[in-house]
Structure 1
Amino acid sequence: MKLVATVVTAAAALTLVLSGCSSEDQQAAQDTAGNVAESAQNAAEGAVSSARSAAPGLGSSAESLGDRAGSVFDDAKRATFVAAYKAQFSALSEGKSDEEIEALLGGICQQIQDGKDEAEVKTDIEAQATNNGNAPSADEAGRIFDQAKLACP
């Protein structure tokens, strides 16, 4: 559990540190954060699998542990998205609560899960992320989409 929290924190820090860098650096940071997040998830799943193997009678406890680990992991991904969104899109996030930004993420994730075309999702992001007359550019909507994909459960 501590490993997952440490890995997610490191991924969040890396994303935030590199958020002011060039697009190529940002993409590299996003790729790295995605790889770190995937590694953490694999580690959590491995721990649950090991627990199940070591103590077959404790299967329900291991499942419960796995559910909690997944929940913590999803919470960390949402928090990372919110922090990165605020850091990279200050005009779009000004005056918005964390819950409002999480709602934007939830909407994007739902559209991705429903199989909606990427171009349509990005167009929706341009409309949904508009704040006080500040609309995201097509490039910004694309970056929001890419970051949301990493944060979706």
Structure 2
Amino acid sequence: MATAPSVPAAAATGEPSAADTAAFVTAFRAQFPEFSTGRKDSPIESLLENTCQEISVGKEQPIIIRNAGKRAEYQGATPTPDQAQAIYDLVASHC
């Protein structure tokens, strides 16, 4: 008897697991110190959760990338378009 392939919870709900969230926060801090140094974890976690939600509902990628960049802004530091794309790519790998 064949079984249906399992669907990761994040793919079904748009919500990353606790492990994915922790891994994302660590990776985001390492890759983007200008947007994370001195920043609490919760806004970084929210960036992941909100962006994963947009991905899961099929929002257009350019809009998601722009929104992810806005969410990453911190203490006057704003991501460049290339950084916003890199943030999107990092998020997508943790959804």
Specify if TM > 0.5: yes
Q: Tell me which structure has the larger Cα radius of gyration.
A: 1
Give unpaired runs (5+ residues) of structure 2.
10-15
TM-score normalised over the length of structure 1: 0.50
Instruction: Figure out how many residues of one structure are paired with residues of the other and give that number.
Output: 83
TM-score normalised over the length of structure 2: 0.78
Give unpaired runs (5+ residues) of structure 1.
1-41, 46-66, 68-72
Matching of residue 146 in structure 1 with residue 71 in structure 2: no
Moved over 6 A (4+): none
Among 52, 60, 64, which residue is 1:117 paired with? 60
Matching of residue 81 in structure 1 with residue 81 in structure 2: no
1:102-122 per-residue CA deviation (whole Å, 9 max, x = no partner) reads 011011011111111110011
How far 1:95 moved relative to its partner? 2.0
SS in 2 for 1:95: coil
Structure 2: which amino acid aligns with 1:84? A
Structure 1: which amino acid aligns with 2:83? E
The 2-side partners of 1:95 and 1:134 are apart by: 13
Larger RCO (alpha carbons 8 Å, 6+ apart): 2
Query: 1 or 2, which has the higher helix percentage?
Result: 1
Please, what is the CA RMSD of the aligned residues?
Answer: 1.9
The 2-side partners of 1:118 and 1:146 are apart by: 11
How far 1:80 moved relative to its partner? 0.9
User: In percent, how many aligned pairs have the same letter?
Assistant: 34
SS in 2 for 1:136: coil
